[in-house]
Structure 1
Amino acid sequence: MSQRVLYLLGCAAPPVQYIDRPVRQAQEAGWEVCVGLTPTAAEWISERVPALEELTGHPVRHAKRGLRETSGWPAATVSVIAPATLNTVNAIALGLTPTWLTGHGVEAVGRSWPLVILPCVNSDYASHPQFGRSVVMLRAAGVRVLLGAPDGFVPPPPGHGDAKEYPWHLALAAARR
């Protein structure tokens, strides 16, 4: 049997600085991991990108490919977008592709590929009407959106989140299912 492949795709939210943790946990559980980032997330952790590439054995993707370029990644068993920002959740739900990462999410929805989204938003962002509509739409399309207790991200008040405590384990558990 071939190895399971996890695409771990991170957005520009504070937990992305700890993305190596779920990479290692997934590898310990037998996954081959490929890391993708939004352009801003890639800027935030640019000094860590070489270490992530060494850890995974794959290039870290953050930009759209050129016309004749291939990804170089093996096909995914499942994709996990975590941390997922308000912008990314809404963009995927609306079918918008401003970044490589959102383009992958939109394609995953369109092709019914397994997709897990673990948001990272504060309670003010989570209360925005479009965010709620986006979560409902994505769930209706078969996306596993991990939002709300007990098995999802619980948005904290603005300024009260702890990036080190982001529940990566929930995304990895959902990927296994």
Structure 2
Amino acid sequence: MTAQPFLYVVVCAAGIAGDAHKLITAAHKQKWGVGVIATPQGLGFLDAEAIEAQTGYPIRSAWRSPGDPRPLPPADAVAVAPATFNTINKWAAGIADTLALGILCEAYGMGIPTAVLPYVNAAMAAHPAYGRSLDQLRDMGVLVGSYEPHRPKAGGGADRFRWEEALELLTPALVGKTAN
């Protein structure tokens, strides 16, 4: 690990995605470098100019062409926040049809500590695939946040979403990784 750990923040298309700057700010306070990877739909929820100014890196949402330089340093850890029903289920199933999902699937194989902060409503969370997917991710060693699903069509629970929980989950995992 370098002197400054580098965090990939994967942002999905959820109503609170525009607040991803809160996680970036918290990470910077803890001396993390940060790069943002957005799902294709998640990109539309972000103020790209502000995020890129805050991180110093371009937001990635598409595959780079062969021979293009890597725009981000290698990740020491990954935080998926907010994580949608769709991303959680595809990731657990090993579907890598977007850059964000490809990075998540690859992070497992590379042993990169990963935390996920789901942001789903209770109706979606009631679907049996969601619980199975969270169990699969936990079995893979993914650290799952504590957010409880919000009522559907009720404006979400942005006030209860703890962005900094991603760092709380990842810090002990990184300490353990560097001790080995």
Same fold? TM cut 0.5: yes
Distance 1:97 1:55 in 2: 28
Q: How far has the Cα of 1:61 moved from its partner?
A: 0.5
Match of 1:163 in 2: 158
| Residue 176 (1) aligns with residue 171 (2) | yes
Superposed CA deviations along residues 82-136 of structure 1, whole A, max 9, x for unmatched, are 1000110011110101211011111112222111111000111111111111111
Match of 1:16 in 2: 17
Distance 1:140 1:75 in 2: 24
Distance 1:13 1:88 in 2: 11
Q: How far has the Cα of 1:162 moved from its partner?
A: 2.9
The amino acid that maps onto 2:157 is D
Q: How far has the Cα of 1:69 moved from its partner?
A: 2.2
Q: CA-atom RMSD, angstroms?
A: 1.3
Question: Which secondary structure state, in structure 1, belongs to the residue aligned with residue 54 of structure 2?
Answer: helix
1:153 is aligned, of 135, 147, 170, to 147
Decide which moves more: 155-164 or 69-78: 155-164
- Output the TM-score relative to the length of structure 2: 0.89
Question: Which secondary structure state, in structure 2, belongs to the residue aligned with residue 168 of structure 1?
Answer: coil
| Residue 62 (1) aligns with residue 56 (2) | no
Contact 2:39–2:98 (Cα < 8 Å) also in 1: yes
Aligned residue pairs: how many? 170
Distance 1:83 1:41 in 2: 9
Match of 1:149 in 2: none
Q: How far has the Cα of 1:44 moved from its partner?
A: 2.6
Identity %: 35
| Structure 2 residue runs without a partner (length 5+) | 173-180
Contact 1:15–1:164 (Cα < 8 Å) also in 2: no
Distance 1:10 1:40 in 2: 9
| Residue 124 (1) aligns with residue 123 (2) | yes
The amino acid that maps onto 1:37 is A
The amino acid that maps onto 1:28 is K
Match of 2:175 in 1: none
Distance 2:5 2:68 in 1: 24
Distance 1:172 1:113 in 2: 14
Question: Which secondary structure state, in structure 1, belongs to the residue aligned with residue 22 of structure 2?
Answer: helix
Question: Which secondary structure state, in structure 2, belongs to the residue aligned with residue 74 of structure 1?
Answer: coil
| Residue 27 (1) aligns with residue 28 (2) | yes
Q: How far has the Cα of 1:171 moved from its partner?
A: 1.3
| Structure 1 residue runs without a partner (length 5+) | 147-151
Match of 2:83 in 1: 84
Question: Which secondary structure state, in structure 1, belongs to the residue aligned with residue 75 of structure 2?
Answer: coil
- Output the TM-score relative to the length of structure 1: 0.90
